Amino acid sequence: MENNSDQASNYKDKQIERMNKFVVNGTDSLGYKIEKVLAKGDEYVIYEVAGLPIQESIRIYIDTLKEVDEEPVERVNEIKPHFDEFLSVLFKYDCDSSYKKRASNAVAMAINGKLEEAKALFEKIKSDATQEYTEKILGRFSYQSGALLLSIILILVLGLSHLNGFSQSDAKIVWDVSLAAIFSSFGGFLSISLRLKDITIDRGLNRFTYLLMGSLRAIISVVGGVLIFFVVKSNLAFGFLNSDDGGVWGVMVFCFLAGFSETLVPNTLKSLESKSQSTNKEFHRTGQ
């Protein structure tokens, strides 16, 4: 009896020692660096390791209090299809870290014998992830549509201007400014399209709000493009575009760039400001 008792005590001490090794920045039994501890109990730890793809980074380690106890492992095996499905959803929808925490709680439930509750939680996690992903896609599409809508409106305005004779030489400025607005809106639309994945979607906002936000982003692009048009035409910057070789199209390319780039207009304005300050200083120095 004493030998059995000593053996059990020795096993428990080693089991505690093994479990205590699972800490952030520590290493697991396979040598992987532990990045996060998602859930931990007396007999299990669910953690995330560094250096592996997202669908392989979450690990489950079970070390039972009794030397021979297969029940916790059997319970995990029973909910493993649900856990594997969660990993697939995690990778497919690029879910945030809160989903990992929820899935870890579901695994902990299963290990503690609450199998049905664990399965129900996994189903809820999958449903929430699918819904959130759908909302992100629709929100980004609405944002993009808002920018496209403004471009279409500007094209219609230009068409009406042409029908009303605004393309004649006596009102050529209306035609050119309209072209500048359209080209800059195209630049803004392309910029939005290329950076669509970087747009943060708030689940509390509806799609109409994102439509307006996209339109606002396009309006900013148009303002920048029209400003560049007048800067070029007034020879304050990029005056070489006023040559007859490129005609108006060279100017339109810069309007497109002004709508696309978030730095062209600010940098141009800073350059003009520096020139203005230098001219002002020279004027005062000469006047003295």
Token representation of residue 95: 């879910």
- CB-CB contact of 129 with 96 (8 Å): no
- CB-CB contact of 32 with 52 (8 Å): yes
Confidence at residue 283, expressed as pLDDT on a 0 to 100 scale: 45
Judge if pTM exceeds 0.85: no
Read off the DSSP letter of residue 200: -
Confidence at residue 36, expressed as pLDDT on a 0 to 100 scale: 93
Q: List average pLDDT for each run of 10 residues in the chain, which is 288 residues long.
A: 68 89 91 93 93 88 88 92 92 87 94 94 94 88 86 78 57 77 88 82 77 86 88 78 68 88 76 64 50
Confidence at residue 275, expressed as pLDDT on a 0 to 100 scale: 67
Confidence at residue 178, expressed as pLDDT on a 0 to 100 scale: 81
Q: Pick from 46, 49, 43: which is nearest to 66 by CA?
A: 43
- CB-CB contact of 266 with 220 (8 Å): no
Confidence at residue 124, expressed as pLDDT on a 0 to 100 scale: 95
